[in-house]
Amino acid sequence: MLVPAKEMLDKARAGKYAVGHFNINNLEWTKAILQTAQELKSPVILGVSEGAGKYMTGYKTIVGMVNGMLEELNITVPVALHLDHGSYEGCLKCIEAGFSSVMFDGSHYPIAENVEKTSELVKICHEKGMSIEAEVGAIGGEEDGVVGMGECADPNECKAIADLGVDFLAAGIGNIHGKYPANWPGLSFETLAAVKEKVGELPLVLHGGTGIPADQIKKAISLGVSKINVNTECQIAFAEATRKYIEEGKDLQGKGFDPRKLLAPGTEAIKATVKEKMELFGSVGKAE
């Protein structure tokens, strides 16, 4: 059964580790992540962006697929199904479809509007027993070929959003989605410490987990980060393994063109990436 992400993240914050949020794109992704979490006895969060939601034909399809897998694969570790960077309307759709958690990303609105919309969604989610993440300070990333540096959140604005009763908070600390440019100055631990000071025990979320050096991940966890989002790294691992298979001409040997064979190396590569991250984040064995 899907569970909200609040309890697993409260435990992670208290235990000084982080739970991985891994974005899913299709059946292979979902299966790879769930099997790895089960094998390592780790809690896990499956993230779905609105774009990936559309790609997989809609939120109801995803809920059906994930619930089916939890049962058929005998998954017993805590799993949350979470909307990633949702719009107000997207959150409502996921609440309706049977997700167990949503993120409302109001970071592009003026703070008063972010507060208003977040507060409405907190009420709706909590009535349904779901968890909700909010965001302050936009996470940068590549848009039309231009890589924007991540913003640093204003700690007072973080407090305003935290006080609405959100279950965990994404605060921009110079992190960005996708690969980090060579001149990236690193995470702003000053901002992270200032945010933590204002929001107390609230679990914090680090987006843009791809490519952040291990020492910075560990420091971020020690300063209150309890959820780390990873997407691009699984995509790169999948693409590299698939490319190798094709370049070695394996799709041309026997029934190597069978999608169950063609997609297998990529699926294994996702598993290896997820395992590496769970070990780094310290969540292995925490679901025992």
Q: Is 221 left (phi over 0), alpha (psi -120 to 50) or beta?
A: alpha
Write down the least CB distance from residue 278 to ligand 13P, Å: 15
Size of the chain in residues: 288
Neighbouring residues of 182: CB distance < 8 A, sequence distance ≥ 6:
none
Figure out which of the listed residues 6, 23, 79, 237 binds ligand 13P, where binding follows CB under 6 A. Answer: 23
* Given 155, 208, 224, 266, the residue binding ligand 13P (CB under 6 A): 208
- Residue 114 in the binding site for ligand 13P (CB under 6 A): no
Q: Which residue, chain included where needed, has tokens 């990633």?
A: 84
Q: Answer whether 151's CB lies under 8 Å from 187's CB.
A: no
Is residue 225 within the footprint of ligand 13P (CB under 6 A)?
no
Q: 176: which 2 tokens?
A: 């960005």
The C-alpha angle with vertex 230 and arms to 226 and 232, in degrees rounded to 5, equals 165
Binding residue for ligand 13P, selected from 6, 11, 177, 227, defined by CB under 6 A? 177
- Provide the minimum distance between the beta carbon of 228 and ligand 13P in the complex, in angstroms, as a whole number: 8
Between the CA of residue 227 and those of 59, 64, 196, what are the distances in Å? 22, 25, 14
Q: From the CB of 170, what's the least distance to ligand 13P, in Å?
A: 8
Residue 1: CB minimum distance to ligand 13P, A = 24
Residues 6+ apart with CB under 8 A from 161: 114, 115, 118, 134, 136, 169
Considering the rule CB under 6 A, would residue 40 count as an interface residue with ligand 13P?
A: no
Number of residues that bind ligand 13P (CB under 6 A): 15
When binding is defined by CB under 6 A, the residue of 229, 242, 267, 273 that contacts ligand 13P is 229
Smallest distance, ligand 13P to C-beta of residue 65, A: 20
Q: Does the footprint of ligand 13P cover residue 198 (CB under 6 A)? A: no
Q: Give the residue with the Cβ less far from ligand 13P, 9 or 245.
A: 9
42 near ligand 13P, rule: CB under 6 A: no
Q: Is 84 an annotated catalytic residue? A: yes
Pick from 154, 157, 167, 233 the residue near ligand 13P by CB under 6 A: 233
H-helix or E-strand containing 215? helix 214-222
Stretch that binds ligand 13P, among 87-95, 122-130, 145-153, 203-211 (CB under 6 A): 203-211
Concatenating the DSSP letter of every residue in 3-50 gives --SHHHHHHHHHHT--EEEEE--SHHHHHHHHHHHHHHT--EEEEEEH
Q: Which is nearer to ligand 13P, 11 or 177 (CB)?
A: 177
> And the tokens for 144?
């039309």
Catalytic residues: 84
- For binding to ligand 13P (CB under 6 A), which residues are involved? 23, 47, 84-85, 177-178, 207-210, 229-233
